[in-house]
């Protein structure tokens, strides 16, 4: 196992495959680096070095009580990129991982970064506020917290239906994909499963987006039931200096899996463009 010991004693697990320009992946909640295995295998086969860590509290990383916030997640990502001395890296973040990447740039700058891709990502803000009327009400996130506290195993299994759009008429449901999601979710520690909800729902990244000085690709399904596109990518692309949004018609939150060939091709074109 490849691991990195952080200054607070937390151990990060990471995968590091292939050789070439580095492409670094930050996964969503409550998953792990395995959520990006399709993209990683594809890009490693195309001559890139692909790296993905299990966020603190998730997957095979250790499960600290503290640090389940975007600032710490971003600092952990910075520690990993510095330890591996990654240069001109392309950072890819899905969902909460997109917020992690954006906050990483805000806190640590773009000296090591060439481009970023945000897939179904949470910025600028998921929570409905007076300044963000298109967001989701706090009651939605309170309900997620209660479901995690009550029976997170059942909740994670049920979450796969809207996550992958499997609750839509005519959807081709993969029980294997559902089981993989559940397995990854149950590897996450209870503290991260619970506290990360506040991190991904209440962190306002409007100013973070405005400060990004590298090219940004947004990929987002227009039927994303987890991170609705209007308050996310459609709003975020207007805040960055050099951004392009590619919408996936009928696409779910889980397009990295359900439309992996299209995502892979779009990522490759962006990296090589």
Domain ranges in the chain? 2-272
Please, what's the b/e burial string for 230-239 (b: 16 or more CB within 10 A of its CB; e: otherwise)? ebbbbbbbeb
- Cα distances from 37 to residues 53, 93, 187, 232, in angstroms, run 12, 13, 17, 24
Confidence grade of residue 48 (pLDDT, cut at 50, 70, 90): very high
Confidence grade of residue 187 (pLDDT, cut at 50, 70, 90): very high
The share of the chain scoring above pLDDT 70, in percent, equals 100
CATH number of the structural domain 2-272: 3.40.50.1820
Name which of 73, 19, 28, 75 is nearest 51 in CA terms. Answer: 19
Annotated catalytic sites, by residue?
95, 224, 253
- Cα distances from 216 to residues 67, 93, 238, in angstroms, run 27, 11, 11
The pLDDT, as a whole number, for residue 1 is: 77
The pLDDT, as a whole number, for residue 91 is: 98
The string of pLDDT tens digits covering residues 88-135 is 999 999 999 999 999 999 999 999 999 999 999 999 999 999 999 999
The string of pLDDT tens digits covering residues 8-34 is 999 999 999 999 999 999 999 999 999
The string of pLDDT tens digits covering residues 228-258 is 999 999 999 999 999 999 999 999 999 999 9
The pLDDT, as a whole number, for residue 14 is: 98
- Average of per-residue pLDDT across 55-60: 98
Q: What is the DSSP string of the chain?
A: -EEEE-TTS-EEEEEEESSSSEEEEEPPTT--GGGGHHHHHHHHHTT-EEEEEPPTTSTTS---SS--SHHHHHHHHHHHHHHTT--SEEEEEETHHHHHHHHHHHHH-STTEEEEEEES---S--B--SS-TTSB-HHHHHHHHHHHHHHHHHHHHHHHHHHTTTTSTT----HHHHHHHHHHHHHS-HHHHHHHHHHHHH---HHHHHT--S-EEEEEETT-SSS-TTTTHHHHTTTSSSEEEEEETT--TTHHHHTHHHHHHHHHHHHH-
The pLDDT, as a whole number, for residue 24 is: 99
Q: What is the pTM of this model?
A: 0.97
How are strands ordered across the β-sheet holding 243-248?
2-5, 11-17, 49-53, 22-26, 89-94, 113-119, 216-221, 243-248
Cα–Cα distance, 270 to 141 (Å, whole number): 33
The pLDDT, as a whole number, for residue 186 is: 98
């Amino acid at each position: 196992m490849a691991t990195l010991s952080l200054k607070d004693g937390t151990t990060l697990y990471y995968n590091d495959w292939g050789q070439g320009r580095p492409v670094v992946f930050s996964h969503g909640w409550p998953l792990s680096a395995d959520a990006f295995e399709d993209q990683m295998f594809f890009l490693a086969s195309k001559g890139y070095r692909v790296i993905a860590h299990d966020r603190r509290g998730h997957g095979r990383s250790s499960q600290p009580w503290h640090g389940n916030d975007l600032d710490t997640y971003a600092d952990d990502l910075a520690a990993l990129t510095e330890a591996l001395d990654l240069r001109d890296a392309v950072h890819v973040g899905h969902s909460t991982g997109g917020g992690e990447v954006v906050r990483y740039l805000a806190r640590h700058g773009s000296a090591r970064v060439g481009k970023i891709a945000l897939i179904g990502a949470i910025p600028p803000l998921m929570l409905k506020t007076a300044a963000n009327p298109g967001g989701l009400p706090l009651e939605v996130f309170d309900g997620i917290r209660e479901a995690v506290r009550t029976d997170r195993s059942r909740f994670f299994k049920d979450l796969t239906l809207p996550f992958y759009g499997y609750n839509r008429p005519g959807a081709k449901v993969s029980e294997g994909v559902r089981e993989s999601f559940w397995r990854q979710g149950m590897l996450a520690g209870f503290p991260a499963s619970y506290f990360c909800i506040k991190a991904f729902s209440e962190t306002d990244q409007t100013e973070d987006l405005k400060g990004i000085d590298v090219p940004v690709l947004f990929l987002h399904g227009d039927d994303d039931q987890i991170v609705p596109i209007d308050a996310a990518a459609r709003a975020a692309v207007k805040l960055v200096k050099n951004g392009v949004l590619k919408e996936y018609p009928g696409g779910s939150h889980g397009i990295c899996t359900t439309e992996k060939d299209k995502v892979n091709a779009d990522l490759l074109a962006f990296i090589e463009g």
